[in-house]
Every structure is written in C-alpha cells, then in structure tokens.
Amino acid sequence: MSLVLDDVTLTYPDGDGRLTALDSVSLEVPAGRLTAVVGPSGSGKSSLLAVAATLVPPDRGRVVVAGTDTGALDPAGKAALRRERIGIVFQQPNLLASLTAVEQLQVMAHLSGAKPKAVRERALSLLDAVGLADLAGRRPHQLSGGQRQRVTLARALMNEPAVLLVDEPTSALDHERGAAIVSLLAALTRDRGTATILVTHDRTHLATADRTVTVHDGRLSQPPPA
C-alpha cells in the first residue's frame, strides 16, 4: 500500500467547541490504482486530501505514505516527503504566468540536484505523456483550460511521486474535456504506479476509477450504487 490512513480523526476549532471533519477514517490506496472520493459539499473530502498530503496533522490516527509513518516526522521531514513522494493537483491549474510548460515542470526538480539535461528530458517526456509534446514552449495564457490542467498533472508527476492527490481537476472544464482529464489520470496512475486519490463531484467519472468511496459527515462508506 502506498497510502494508508488508519483510524484518522481530524477536528477544527468551531466556536467554543470542535467540528469533526474526519471521523475515524481508514483508507488503503494501493499503488497503480485510482480511488475516487465523492460526497456532498462540506462532507470532508478536502480535509481527507489535506491530511493525506501531510498539510494538516490529524488529531488521532496514522497517515502512512510510501511506508513512512508521517506522525513521526518534523515539519522539515514532512516537507521533504511532500517534495519527493507526493504529487498534488488542485482545482485550478496554479501555473506560474511567466514560465513555459516545460519550465513549469523543470522548476519542480530544482531542489533535487539532478542534471539539467536529464530534468529537461524528463519534463519533455511527461509533457508527451499528457499529449502536449508540441506545446512545451507555450506559457499558460497560450494554453486552454484543459491543456493547463494537463501541465499541472505532468508537473505533479515530475518527481516520480508514490502518491498522487487530485482535487476536482475538472471543475473548470466542460464535460468532454473533464472526462478526458480523468481518463488520462487513470492511465497515468497505472503506467506510473502511483497510489491516486481523485476527489470529484461528477459521478460520471466514477466508472473510470478502480474504486469509489463516499464521505458523509466525515465518515467513509462503501461504494454507492452505480
């Protein structure tokens, strides 16, 4: 298992008390498999991703990323783990306006100490994998919304993450382009062997996933009926 959440509870301050965003959540995401997470607004989906990304520590329970129990890590250790083992894709493609597509990927490897030529080759090969081989020299304003989201997917894979966390990547896209992004995500998950979580509100994407879990009031439940 590349990502394990074991009996995770997360609360936020709420007036005089605490709001339980995740309630004893356990989830195992194997390498090379796409797990979709669905649930109503406010049910805890983003909180689940934030805990899995080690951005928010749980009140209770364990988060194990690629065999590392993250509870034992200090902030620097968590930052290194995020950099080296976790790829994150947010709802909006947060690309840097002044950089070309290939440069967006190259900056990810800036701290890794890899040789610039090898970094550029990897960046170009990932852009090829997401169907953008011809657009490597374009800046974000010269790309469509779907193309920008493809760049963010390729960028998230730059450091060969074991875990890929993807939050509503299709919310800014029409249905057809959204479906194409999810199919691409499923193919990349299998090809690259990442343990992938996809948060989505679009149930038509679920057929593409290997497994679906539903969050309700911070609790995970079994797959919904098709």
Ligand X SMILES: Nc1ncnc2c1ncn2[C@@H]1O[C@H](COP(=O)(O)OP(=O)(O)OP(=O)(O)O)[C@@H](O)[C@H]1O
Q: Under the rule (CB under 6 A), what is the footprint of ligand X?
A: 12, 19, 21, 39, 41-47
Nearer Cβ to ligand X, position 110 or 201? 201
Crossing angle of helices 145-156 and 175-192, rounded to 10°: 20
Total Cβ atoms within 10 A of residue 46? 19
Q: Residue type at 130?
A: V
Tell me how far, at minimum, the Cβ of 218 lies from ligand X, in Å. Answer: 7
Tell me how far, at minimum, the Cβ of 137 lies from ligand X, in Å. Answer: 35
Nearer Cβ to ligand X, position 38 or 143? 38
Distances (CA, A) of 114 to 27, 94, 118, 156, 162: 34, 24, 7, 17, 19
CA distance 127 to 129: 5
Nearer Cβ to ligand X, position 43 or 194? 43
Tell me how far, at minimum, the Cβ of 13 lies from ligand X, in Å. Answer: 6
Nearer Cβ to ligand X, position 8 or 136? 8
Crossing angle of helices 145-156 and 116-129, rounded to 10°: 130
Tell me how far, at minimum, the Cβ of 20 lies from ligand X, in Å. Answer: 8
